[in-house]
Structure 1
């Protein structure tokens, strides 16, 4: 019937609404920040609700040495799986084929030394594979060949000496940082967009081995890498957007002038992010580019000859992120007004470990007026009243975010040594003369016949907390004239609070406000869910009542119609009988009249 279908549809709607407002139950030892995600720490792999599609487990007390079908058969509904620090040593062949919806697999910080050729059979849906920090030494040829849909592969922080053969042709991102790879296999048919070769045994890059023209992100460097022998490859990076060059603390990566000139040309075309870590520059020209489109520059632990700094200029008009941490000469160049131009687009500035003693507010207003994040950590800051107090004030007002605030400490004056800048009291308290204390006078009169004494005793009033005790009244009777004396003894205790030397920054109010806001938001969501559910139930009740009334009305209408017809037929038959009786009576009457007339 129609009303039964309507009830079924409404009930299905109620079920959908209820399921959307009531998320799946979070397993024990897990944190479910989103209804479809579960992050578990400790314990075994739990039984998951089928509505959970992303699962992460880490730091299990008992190691899980093998990922087999007994485990993966209970995780068939997952789209993302992350296994971190669970003691895994082997992935059983064909175990992942049971998870036919899996797109992302991350196995990190385990002890998998070998990947077999049958490990990833029937895993065509996998698009991201992250195997970092697993001590992998051997990858059999053809291991990644079944992964026809793989786009992102990370093998960083392992012990590989070479790359496996037959990488997926659709691969876009390859990360093999921190391995023992000495030479690259031929990869001309793979159009990579991102390639990380940093910190291997590779000495140079050859354009004939790698398709460099398709690269957007590239990381080069390490103890054995030589940029001078890679000049041909560097000049082929016309489309690169993010370039990272890394050396080591013991052996900085030397960047010659011709490489710097090539990088400068890239900044005018496509390069917008440049990262130089533990490098050695021959000139400062890379920081003086009026037509540069560079938006992010990180030159950390980078050295430059002193003779180049004196006459150098820093001009980066489009820069938004600048990180000069560990590069004191570059930081000095930046903080010298006549050596740098205003950077109106700069938002993030990091100058930690640069020996900086002060950062003036006038410099911020004139050179970097739009800065939002500042890092001054690990510097010997001089926390004076008129030099650094503006930073805590800006932070309180929400105009500035101080990064690494716990390690942004004062070095002077001595009484503020190792105290965080945001809590240091940099301005002393100036004592002010308190106003005179008002006094009142009580009059005590002693009546002696013939004499009258009036004693005046001052009583001091104070705003501090007072405690009165031991108040006694003594009446002395003598044979002569009577003298009545009242004596009051009071003790006053002033509870003074110790005023801090300066202002301190506390985030408790911000945290409390956020907690109240989150509590109000969750309460509003529960109230909204309850309101929607009540509304749906009321609609269902109204629909059922309307349908029932309509059905009852139709039934009664049919019953009344039959009764009316039967009573109408009965009335008709009675009228016919009456009419026949009347006709007979009329006929008899007429006959009687006729006989009378005849008589």
Structure 2
């Protein structure tokens, strides 16, 4: 058999495949192999009913869908990726995701959702990534995330949450990354994170937190990074980060921190990076960073530092490789309490 025969044969095969795909594709969408259906930016107001059952990836973003009704995806039993971001979705009916148990990635960002009710996502047992950022979510009922046993990433950024509590996190025991930045959170109820023992990354930056308690972090023994920048923290009390025994990166930039009690960083034996720029510290003290025996990077830039005690870093920082203190007003080196 010569090459021309094989060329003709392959052309016929591919032509048949693409003809089959075209036959399965809604007229207003674009489709490709494996079965990806792209109905984005097609002025949809509801979930189309003529999506083929074997669809694995469905793009419905940039439309005008306002509601996800019961059984909206009930026939899409092979669906893995579902994009519904940048619509006008306000309501998600219980049972909206019936039949969609195979979905692993769900994007609901940039909609108009105001609340999450109990069992909203209960059928999505294989879901690993859930984006709910840039909505208007102010309320999350207990067990709203019930059944999400595989969830690893939850994005709640840019919503209207004012607090976090343990009921909100019911059902997400496998969660590793939680992004709740850019909300209005001022309160974290004690023991909030006892139901997320695998969490490694927690973003709480750009909120309204004015104080932190040692009981906030119970259950977060595996956390590696905590971002509390752009809040309203004024002081760090003893055991402020109790329980964060494996944390490596702590971000406290752009708060209002004026004082740090001795023992504030107790237990942070694995901390490598401490960022505290843009605060209101005026002096360093020998005990201020006690406990940070393995820290390698410290940023104290853009504070109001005027006095640097001679023993400021004796009790903490034998492994420091980088210490940033630029844009302060340091004029005095204080030796054992006397200025020189």
TM-score range (shorter-chain normalised) is 0.5 to 0.7
Deviations 1:382-407 (A, max 9, x none): xxxxxxxxxxxxxxxxxxxxxxxxxx
C-alpha contact (below 8 Å) 1:130/1:154 kept by paired residues: yes
- Give SS of 1:243's match: strand
Cα distance in structure 2, aligned partners of 1:54 and 1:277: 44
The answer to whether the Cα contact below 8 Å between 2:81 and 2:105 also exists between their aligned partners in 1 is: yes
Distance 2:119 2:203 in 1: 26
Deviation per residue, 1:20-74 (Å, 9 max, x gap): x98x779978798x967677652246776777634444332xx211012564246
CA shift for structure 1 position 137 = 1.7
State the match for 1:204 in structure 2: 212
How far residue 88 of structure 1 moved from its aligned partner, in angstroms, is: 0.6
Cα offsets for 1:293-338 (capped at 9, x unmatched)? 63x7776x732424549xx99998756xx9x8xx8527x99xxxxx
Summarize the alignment of residues 43-442 of structure 1 with structure 2, pairs less than 5 Å apart.
Answer: 43-44=42-43, 53-60=56-63, 63-69=64-70, 71-73=72-74, 75-162=76-163, 163=165, 165=167, 167-168=170-171, 169-177=173-181, 178-187=183-192, 188-191=194-197, 192-198=199-205, 199-201=207-209, 203-207=211-215, 210-220=218-228, 223-229=231-237, 231-248=238-255, 252-254=256-258, 256=260, 258=262, 262=265, 266=268, 270-276=270-276, 278-281=278-281, 282-283=283-284, 294=296, 302-308=302-308, 329=327
Contact 2:175 2:196 in 1 (8 A): yes
Assess, with a 3 A threshold, how the Cα gap between structure 1 residues 202 and 41 changes in structure 2: closer, same or farther: farther
Provide the secondary structure at the position in 2 that maps to 1:135. coil
The whole-number CA distance in structure 1 between the counterparts of 2:35 and 2:252 is: 39
Aligned length: 298
Q: Which residue of 1 aligns with 2:333?
A: none
Instruction: Kindly provide the CA deviation profile for residues 575-595 of structure 1, in whole angstroms up to 9, marking residues without a partner as x.
Output: xxxxxxxxxxxxxxxxxxxxx
SS class of match (2:119): coil
Following superposition of structure 1 onto structure 2, how do residues 28-39 of structure 1 map, counting pairs within 5 Å? none
Deviations 1:496-530 (A, max 9, x none): xxxxxxxxxxxxxxxxxxxxxxxxxxxxxxxxxxx
> Partner residue of 2:337?
none
The residue number in structure 2 matching 1:480 is none
Distance 2:320 2:57 in 1: 43
Give the match's secondary structure for 1:207. helix
Residue 240 of structure 1 and its aligned partner are, at CA, apart by: 0.3
How much does 1:275 deviate? 3.6
Instruction: Look up the match of 2:335.
Output: none
In structure 2, relative to structure 1, the CA distance for the partners of 1:91 and 1:181 (3 Å cut) is: farther
Q: Distance in 2 between matches of 1:96 and 1:277?
A: 45
SS in 1 for 2:280: strand
Larger gyration radius, structure 1 or structure 2: 1
Scaled by the length of structure 1, what TM-score is found?
Answer: 0.41
Q: Deviations over 1:547-578 (max 9, x none)?
A: xxxxxxxxxxxxxxxxxxxxxxxxxxxxxxxx
Query: Runs of 5+ in structure 2 lacking a partner?
Result: 1-5, 331-340
> Structure 1 residues 68 and 185 mapped into 2: Cα distance closer, same or farther (>3 Å)?
farther
Q: TM-score, normalised by structure 2?
A: 0.66
Q: Which runs of 5+ in 1 are unaligned?
A: 1-9, 334-599
Cα 1:86–1:38 change in 2 (3 A) is same
Q: For each residue in 1:68-120, what CA deviation from the matched residue of structure 2 results, as whole angstroms up to 9, or x when unmatched?
A: 25642465432122322211101121111221211122211211112121322
**1:97–1:52: structure 2 CA closer, same or farther, 3 Å change rule?**
closer
CA contact (8 A) 1:30 1:41 kept: no
1:215 is displaced (CA, Å) by: 1.9
- Quick check: 1:97–1:122 contact (8 Å CA) kept in 2? yes
Q: Are 2:139 and 2:161, in contact at CA under 8 Å, matched by a contact in 1?
A: yes
SS of the residue corresponding to residue 240 of structure 1 reads coil
Choose between structure 1 and 2 for higher RCO, CA contacts under 8 A separated by at least 6 residues.
2
Q: Sort the Cα spacing of 1:226 and 1:75 in 2 relative to 1 into closer, same or farther, 3 A.
A: farther
> Structure 1 residues 213, 80: CA separation in 2 closer, same or farther (over 3 Å shift)?
same
Partner Cα distance (1:156, 1:182) in 2: 16
